[in-house]
Amino acid sequence: MRKIIVSNMVTLDGYFEGSNRELDWHLVDDEFNEYAREMLNSVDSLLFGRITYQLMAGYWPTATRNDPYITEKMNSLKKIVFSKTLSKVEWNNTQLVKSNIEQVVFTLKQQTGKNIALFGSATILALLMQNHLIDELRIVVNPVILASGKPLFKNLETRHHLELLNVKPFKSGNVLLQYRLI
């Protein structure tokens, strides 16, 4: 069975985006790009909520400052966006899903292929965690405290226990925390 892997950057105080959706605090360097390349190489599909999809679709098709491999993978991988309000999606290889999110993800997990990644998308993350559809969390903690923003786990309704799989400090001060949901 395929795994759903959440991969997100957060601040030390738990925000995955600033109050105005800013991401200027993301600390990206060669070591982080190496992690991103490995992550993207291990998946064949990406999941997004509407807001994350719109941010990604507005950036990656014309990205020029990033690692060319990461840019190519972001643009070529299959993408699924969950939204009740979007009427169409234009980023290549993107499918729009308007309902039955849990069933769609459950079915995806049963199919053959590589793992599936979820980036950003705190509302979708909470829904999938509540339905026991998330297998692994890969959280890159950045050495910054924003004091306000959007918490990654704000929408959860119940406690979730985790098993630590790996901790990897980066020279930049980022720390990758990898957990399995139990």
Q: Give the model confidence (pLDDT) of 76-86 as tens digits.
A: 999 999 999 99
**pLDDT at site 117:** 98
Domains of the chain by residue range: 30-173
* pLDDT tens digits along 55-100: 999 999 998 877 899 999 999 999 999 999 999 999 999 999 999 9
CA dist 102 and 131 (Å) reads 7
Query: What does DSSP assign to residue 165?
Result: E
CATH homologous superfamily of 30-173? Dihydrofolate Reductase, subunit A (3.40.430.10)
Query: Can you tell me the mean pLDDT for 136-164?
Result: 96
**pLDDT at site 180:** 98
CA dist 122 and 156 (Å) reads 9
**pLDDT at site 35:** 97
Query: What does DSSP assign to residue 66?
Result: S
CA angle 62-65-71, nearest 5°?
55
Round the average pLDDT of the chain to a whole number and report it.
96
Split at pLDDT 50, 70, 90, the class of 9 is very high
Query: Can you tell me the mean pLDDT for 132-158?
Result: 96
Query: Can you tell me the mean pLDDT for 144-173?
Result: 96
CA dist 39 and 134 (Å) reads 16
CA dist 17 and 90 (Å) reads 24
Share of the chain above pLDDT 90, in %: 95
Query: Can you tell me the mean pLDDT for 102-114?
Result: 98
CA dist 1 and 146 (Å) reads 38
Query: Can you tell me the mean pLDDT for 1-19?
Result: 97
**Residue at 19: amino acid letter:** S
Q: How far is CA 101 from CA 80, 81, 106, 163, in A?
A: 10, 10, 9, 26
Three-class SS state of 176 = strand
CA dist 94 and 48 (Å) reads 10
132: pLDDT strictly greater than 90: yes
Query: Can you tell me the mean pLDDT for 132-145?
Result: 98
β-pairing, 4-11 vs 115-118, is parallel
